[in-house]
Structure 1
């Protein structure tokens, strides 16, 4: 039995009491955060990075103003005289291979990320010789790009040593290390190193390019082979010498290294004299004209077009030339 109200009832439930609006759906979350929260996080992070960068630059400018540091910068200006002479400029083969390398690296990074994050592949590829073995279409495309990139890299290194241009990338004196520190201080303090990339890289550039070509690239290739089907089956000694866990632990950080290198490299190309730097690599001259810029723009358009075109509708017919493709 209901307890009677202690007062006279004056209100009764209306239409809204039995026809309530459906509750609003919960906002979509991406890795635990809503879009608004992500926007705030990105904006806050961006402001934090800008503030931290400003503080680092201010500290660096104060540091290089010290008498001892000034003397160090005079002694080690950021570059050293190479023990081996090399003709200035960039041959046509360097320009072409630079484009091919960028073209392939962008697609390799894209497909590598797709392979790492995909949960349910849309298509699978199998070799004609072993139809029981299958890999995702993205992994096949990633491996195919890797082979082209590796071939391009081998040709590049061979031509480097045949033509003598290896001197640009390989340090020939221990002076490279203090000069690299000097160049780094000059970059961070926004006092750009006074060098001519047309004739010689500064020491920090040389170490960065050496690391990229002769350390990071081989690591990417070796770890990629270890994780691929190319690696010999039932090779116990090889497996013990180079466990697949090591390859997995190294391969992704190496990819991140390339991403950071590309971002820093492109930023400095534009910040330290865009027209001249682009002319060096794309137009083959040391001038300040616009030819290099327009060639760079055209090459960027080609890369963007390849990025957009790299979809199953385009990749599947190519993959079928080398094996069997099964789509969902």
Structure 2
């Protein structure tokens, strides 16, 4: 006879509820997608809409001096961001599950500068989440610095208000499944530009700020604690993660349905070609991510965490 503990029963119930939620969310998303396609195709049959699409084809000419092509360093950034996002989402869901962590880490004050606050005990999943956060932030800072140093920011930051109607046009074309003609090696279409700008300069800073507010580095009292309430940070942090997930899903779908070999060459090999070089690099990066996913288990994490503190459990 098998005896199930109350904690195990609650965890199993939590996962069942999550699976049901995912199922219903997927079903609703599919229905909305079908309805959206039908509405978009109907709209494109209207004379006024067709005139709008002719006036605003979905692309704004880039400013003078905009670099042509996607450099190799952006490929490395793309891989590192994908890896860190994968691990952040994984550890984020582990934290939201409310399950007891497989171990707890406490800072070793003999190795770290002493503070007035007593060492904080945290679950191993939270410890790993914070370290990945730190690496993601460092990588993001490097990305933004190099982006502006090389002029690549001109490809992401809108400089003409015409980007708005052109983005609406591109969205309608995508929704109708008659996708806009674009050459991302030269210029992103207006919808891509707005989305990339929002991810880099709005969503990422919101994720960082709300994550810092929920971490141990944020003061528990004082003006900073009052300026950004913890409840507000929690209300922002999880939805921003969902934004990243939706963006990643749509991004991957579009890459593999709009000329995968050429897109992967541009993204990972820094070359505008239709051969298999970019795909090979992408496949190798996926293998690395799978290996990291498999290795990032409690036994290894606890051994690494023990080098900077005390691990129990």
With normalisation by structure 2, the TM-score equals 0.88
Larger relative contact order (C-alpha < 8 A, sep ≥ 6)? 2
Give the match for residue 142 of structure 1. Answer: 129
Cα-to-partner distance string for 1:120-170 (whole Å, 9 max, x where unaligned)? 111001111277421000000000000000000000000010000001110
Give deviations 1:153-200, integer Å, cap 9, x for gaps.
Answer: 000000010000001110001011000000000101111111101111
1:261 correspondence with 2:247: yes
* Map of 2:4 onto structure 1: none
Q: 1:63 aligns with which of 43, 54, 66?
A: 43
RMSD: 2.3
Q: How does 1:268-307 map to 2 (within 5 A)?
A: 268-307=254-293
Within 5 A, what are the aligned runs for 1:187-266?
Answer: 187-234=174-221, 236-266=222-252
Give the structure 1 partner of residue 296 of structure 2.
310
1:33 to partner: Cα distance = 6.6
Q: Distance in 1 between matches of 2:15 and 2:211?
A: 32
Q: Shift of residue 45 of structure 1?
A: 7.1
Question: Which residue of the partner structure matches residue 98 of structure 2?
Answer: 118
Confirm or deny: 8 A CA contact 2:40 2:172 kept in the other structure. Answer: yes
Number of aligned residue pairs: 296
* Residue ranges of structure 1 left out of the alignment (5+ in a row): 1-27
Quote the Cα distance in structure 2 between the aligned partners of 1:52 and 1:77.
Answer: 25
Separation in structure 2 between the aligned mates of residue 272 and residue 204 of structure 1, nearest angstrom: 15
Q: TM (normalized to structure 1)? A: 0.84
The answer (yes or no) to whether the contact 2:75–2:270 under 8 Å persists in 1 is yes
Q: Larger Rg: 1 or 2? A: 1
Distance (whole Å) between structure 1 residues aligned to residue 37 and residue 89 of structure 2: 31
Whether the 8 Å contact between 1:60 and 1:189 is mirrored in structure 2 is yes
Structure 2 gaps, min length 5: 1-8
